[in-house]
Chains A and B, each alone.
Chain A
């Protein structure tokens, strides 16, 4: 075998991080990072996601006693501050997701720095604490995005896709822990739909919920087999809707049935990796070498 299993706290078989992207009206920028969001339709959907989807989601997390990681654009934290305080008071982690869900790749390094800074300040103002986690708003990013996050005191990023266990991105003089994500484990790309502007761009049919849940289960089978770090991304306006909330219960039941998973927030994972002294925690030069847990022959 080339690929070794990663070790997790307490002898757990694999890690599970439930992450919630509270994008509200900015969800359309997941599909086109340059879109404007001031359309009433999008604003109403954003409002409903906070008023209906979010409480539903919180109820279930509470029932399963799971702490999740919520990534929130600063402008949404300010606009829906009461809702965000409820999330923080329930013990969930609140992470930074830009200020207005900016398209980082289209900004200068200084503009990126200021957007992340503004997003962090909004969360601190509402929740009282600085966020420690960063998920870059969907759209492209550059290495300067991660350098800015690190310089602003963020501990980890959960934005890239190059592995299925955490790894460090080399930032030159520094490094940043990456908790990688995968599009197949995100609800919006399967379900979001809008006529004008077209979302998704080719207006493909809305997927079958049961089969999407099955994809998440197939993925879990794999993450369980390989002992990897399963990061689910959900949005209250998608998974929180009346016809889809069962999917969250379905995947959580499936994970619990398989047993021996370590449910963790992004900050839990960061703290675990900081204490690791094994080769799993070695930095690698971005895009140059193999994953740390691939054995040499």
Chain B
């Protein structure tokens, strides 16, 4: 195996990615049903993440002295500036998770760029600077990717896909300067445990997974990352992981991470910078 490139002899790098979606995903679903704009029940599942879950996660991160990255739709940055301040004051990173969690960024290059510009303007106004990391909530045109990822302010791209290798993101076979930081479905607890019967979330109403199986799969993913020297990040959600029983899973995962010297746990920004500087032959100062 190649020599590890991660600091302090760690064999893999990990960042908790917290997708602070709030009620946007639920709102975007019910809005398509007649009278859906007035529905309040399924949205309240998402609001749990805002009202309680986010602060519970902040408490857990503090308890284990861990820094993480929060992917926030710009709409929620604007709606909950106090919460954003709390996240920042605990030393976490805030990254871009779209404008309103809609999967439609626009039909044309200009429409899509305008959508991204609007979200970054909100970040500038509330966070004080544009996000350097992106987890888009829908597909982008390759021309848009080209422009976004050649922008010197864009450091990394972390989308929810099955890819495994940290690399420079490529558009139409051409390398950009943005780091592609893998975020695999295996580290998305929403897929395993979210539930709403109407509207159906997930579609088809699959059973909520056994929590012991969820934790066991997470650990297997870490074991693989350690074995192959990978960089990984999660798509965890305060509206799911912040509820009491799922927070127990996060507690146990934090115990595993903090007692395992093979794992370098930090923000996505730190991982991306470290890897990029390493690739460009610049020694990283920790």
Contacts and interface: CB of A to CB of B under 8 A. Distances in A.
A31 B205 contact: yes
Given A138-B197, A219-B245, A225-B244, A201 B39 contact: no
Contact of B198 (A140, A142, A221): A140
B204 interface: yes
A140 B30 contact: yes
Nearest to A141: B41
Contacts of B34: 106
Nearest to A185: B245
Interface in A88-102: none
A223 B47 contact: no
Nearest to A184: B208
Nearest to A189: B195
Contacts of B247: 222, 225-226
B240 to A, nearest CB: 10
B42 A140 contact: yes
Contacts of A218: 211-212, 245, 248-249
B40 interface: yes
Interface in A105-164: 105-106, 136, 138-144, 159-164
User: Among the interface residues B36, B42, B52, B200, which one has the most CB atoms of the partner chain A within 10 A?
Assistant: B52
Contacts of A32: 197-198
A1 B59 contact: yes
A162 B47 contact: yes
Contact of A141 (B40, B48, B89): B40
Interface in B24-73: 30, 33-36, 38-45, 47-48, 50-52, 55-56, 58-59, 62
B62 to A, nearest CB: 8
A138 B195 CA distance: 13
B211 A143 contact: no
Interface residues of A, number: 60
Contacts of A3: 52, 55-56, 59
Contacts of B51: 162-163, 167, 289-291, 294
Contacts of B39: 105, 140-142
B5 interface: no
A182 interface: yes
B110 interface: no
Contacts of B197: 30-32, 138-139, 183, 189
Given A140-B39, A182-B243, A202 B205 contact: yes
A294 to B, nearest CB: 5
A228 interface: yes
B280 interface: no
Interface in B213-229: 213
A106 B41 CA distance: 13
B244 A287 contact: no
A183 B213 CA distance: 18
A286 interface: yes
Given A3-B59, A160-B41, A223-B244, A106 B35 contact: yes
A157 B39 CA distance: 16
B210 interface: yes
Given A202-B205, A215-B210, A290-B83, A162 B48 contact: yes
A275 interface: no
B275 to A, nearest CB: 32
B23 A287 contact: yes
B114 interface: no
Given A162-B48, A201-B205, A290-B82, A183 B59 contact: no
A201 to B, nearest CB: 5
B196 interface: yes
Contact of A214 (B52, B55, B206, B210): B210
A182 B41 CA distance: 11
A106 to B, nearest CB: 7
8 contacts: A140-B30, A140-B39, A140-B198, A162-B44, A184-B243, A189-B207, A201-B204, A215-B208
Interface of B: 23, 30, 33-36, 38-45, 47-48, 50-52, 55-56, 58-59, 62, 82-83, 86, 89, 193, 195-200, 203-208, 210-213, 243-249
Given A105-B33, A141-B39, 17 more contacts: A1-B59, A2-B86, A140-B199, A141-B41, A160-B40, A161-B44, A183-B196, A184-B193, A184-B195, A189-B208, A201-B204, A202-B204, A215-B211, A218-B212, A222-B244, A222-B245, A228-B244
Interface of A: 1-3, 30-33, 105-106, 136, 138-144, 159-164, 167, 180, 182-184, 189-190, 200-208, 211-212, 214-215, 218-223, 225-226, 228, 286-287, 289-291, 294, 296-297
